[in-house]
Amino acid sequence: MSAVAQEPAVVLDRIHKQFGDLVVVRDVSLTVARGEVVAIIGPSGSGKSTLLRCINLLERADSGRVEVVGRAVEPGAGVAGRDLAALRRSVGMVFQSFNLFPHMTVLRNVSLPQERVLGRSRAEADARSRQLLERVGLAAKADTYPSRCSGGQQQRVAIARALALDPEVMLFDEPTSALDPELGLEVLAVMRELAADGMTMVVVTHEIHFAADVADRVVVMADGAVLEEGTPEQVLRSPSTERARRFLSAVVDR
Amino acid sequence: MEVLEAVLLGVPVTLLVTVAALALGAVLAVPLAAARRSRVVPLRWLGRVVIDVVRGIPPVVWLFLIFFGLGRDLIRLEPIEAGIIGLGVISAGYLAEIYRGGLSAVHAGQWEAASALGMGGTDTLVRVVAPQAFRVSLPAVTTYAISLLKDSTIVSAIGVSEILFRATQSARSTGAGLTPFFVAAAVYILLSAPLAWLSRGLDARLRARVAR
């Protein structure tokens, strides 16, 4: 990890989130430095996706504080529109189900948010979009519709769409879970490059190899709490809790 | 021949009533559908009551209420105006439910993605969700339009000289028996068939571009 970081990119301070009586995230605190890549792993239902979604306020934590590049909000106490807009602008997100806009071409998918959110002109936005599509290896797909792209291609477009808003932090919510293993690889390749370029990334994933190779830090969650946290070597090779050991043996020895 | 001419005279009126009522309904349905999906509970409830009342009263009763009630006492309404308003109001009730179905058919991930990208609610609705909801709703809207075309015969009850009105007149004056009604039936088929074909073709093309 590059230790140049001044203020952290993301600070989650005692985040608590429940749906009805079900506590999904239990007082979790997590700090992500600038340029750091954090992988969150854990069994289904462990609250890892919910925690991720608490960062960009797709889920509003019931209590706790969320701070992104120095701007703090307390979702439980209400969020001002201006804070929400600023936060969403500095955080990009990639979903498991891609969520491209199916009625627009690939190029429009990447350009529309730039025009609506950053006020770029159509020409500026398209230029930036083409540059990013080139970067994710999809320049040739600019004028096709998402339905004509493979899942892996759609996910790479979704990454380009998020990057087009020049975010400071990128969130990935199981970006390869809906993909064939081979198609997943092309998405992981793009993510590797992004990490190498110094992007701050928080990745919820089941891809243990990606976590081992790319992440600076691995966080293991279960039952809404953080079980383990450390470098990939520490956490993946010698987990200290029995629960983490059980989960890891299930994914690593597969 | 005389009969055919008489019936054809009603075609422009039938088309005018249908198209105008559909247009009026399409616009009025927007706030109704919005109310039905509102986060404000009383508003949702109000939308529901309005839709149920509008759809629960038989069309001919609506026309009498508007033409003989509103049209005579408050403002002067021509029969055709009353017909358009009446069918327009009823259409609004049905179309609002169709819109609502279309909106709920759009995957929640679309709202989330737009929201995560920092797009506002109105922007998301207008640019992302509504175009997809429109695609999903189109077959139901066309089906409704076709049935409205046929149901517009009801405005003959308040004296609008559309196809059925002309056919009835012709039957009475020429003593041609059922012939004018057969002619009217053929004309209705000729009017509605292209609409159905058009809708099927469009639907197949648009459906490919909706998230599910």
Cα(B127)–Cα(B113) distance, integer angstroms: 13
Are the beta carbons of A88 and B109 separated by less than 8 Å? no
**Residue among B16, B14, B5 at smallest CA distance from B165:** B14
Contact A194, A225 (CB under 8 A): no
A96-138 pLDDT, tens per residue?
A: 999 999 999 999 999 999 999 999 999 999 999 999 999 999 9
Cα(B49)–Cα(B106) distance, integer angstroms: 25
Decide if pLDDT at A250 tops 50: yes
Are the beta carbons of B107 and A99 separated by less than 8 Å? yes
Cα(B86)–Cα(B62) distance, integer angstroms: 6
Decide if pLDDT at A169 tops 50: yes
Domain residue limits, chain B: 12-161
Q: What is the pLDDT of residue B104?
A: 92
Cα(A135)–Cα(A47) distance, integer angstroms: 32
What whole-number percentage of chain A has pLDDT above 90?
86
Residue B135 touches partner A, C-beta closer than 8 Å: yes
Are the beta carbons of A93 and B116 separated by less than 8 Å? yes
In which band, very low, low, confident or very high, does the pLDDT at B210 lie, cut at 50, 70 and 90? low
Are the beta carbons of B128 and A93 separated by less than 8 Å? no
Q: What is the pLDDT of residue A3?
A: 47
Domains in chain A, CATH or no CATH each: 10-99+169-252 (3.40.50.300)
Q: Which region holds residue B175: left if phi is over 0, alpha if psi is between -120 and 50, else beta?
A: left
> For residue A229, what is the enclosing H or E element?
strand A225-230
Residue B100 touches partner A, C-beta closer than 8 Å: no
Q: Which of A99, A101, A112 is opposite residue B112, by nearest beta carbon?
A: A99
- A58 chain-B contacts, CB cut-off 8 A: 112, 115-116
Decide if pLDDT at A4 tops 80: no
**Residue among B10, B13, B49 at smallest CA distance from B32:** B49
Q: What is the pLDDT of residue B203?
A: 77
Asked which of A218-227, B90-99, B169-178 is least confident by mean pLDDT, the reply is B169-178
In which band, very low, low, confident or very high, does the pLDDT at A2 lie, cut at 50, 70 and 90? very low
Please count the other Cβ atoms lying within 10 Å of the Cβ belonging to residue B28.
19
- A147 chain-B contacts, CB cut-off 8 A: 208-209
Cα(A85)–Cα(A88) distance, integer angstroms: 5
Domain spanning B12-161, CATH architecture: Orthogonal Bundle (1.10)
Sequence-ordered list of residues with C-beta below 8 angstroms from that of A151, at least 6 positions apart, any chain? A98, A178, A179, A180, A183
Decide if pLDDT at A6 tops 90: no
Which residue of chain B comes nearest to A109, CA vs CA? B128
Residue pairs spanning A and B at CB distance below 8 A: 66
- A163 chain-B contacts, CB cut-off 8 A: none
**Residue among A163, A169, A78 at smallest CA distance from A113:** A163
Q: What is the DSSP letter of A31?
A: E
Q: What is the pLDDT of residue B40?
A: 93
Distance from CA of A8 to the nearest CA of B (A): 21
Cα(A79)–Cα(A40) distance, integer angstroms: 26
Are the beta carbons of B127 and A58 separated by less than 8 Å? no
Are the beta carbons of A99 and B119 separated by less than 8 Å? no
Mean pLDDT of chain A, nearest integer = 93
**ipTM field:** 0.90
Mean pLDDT of chain B, nearest integer = 90
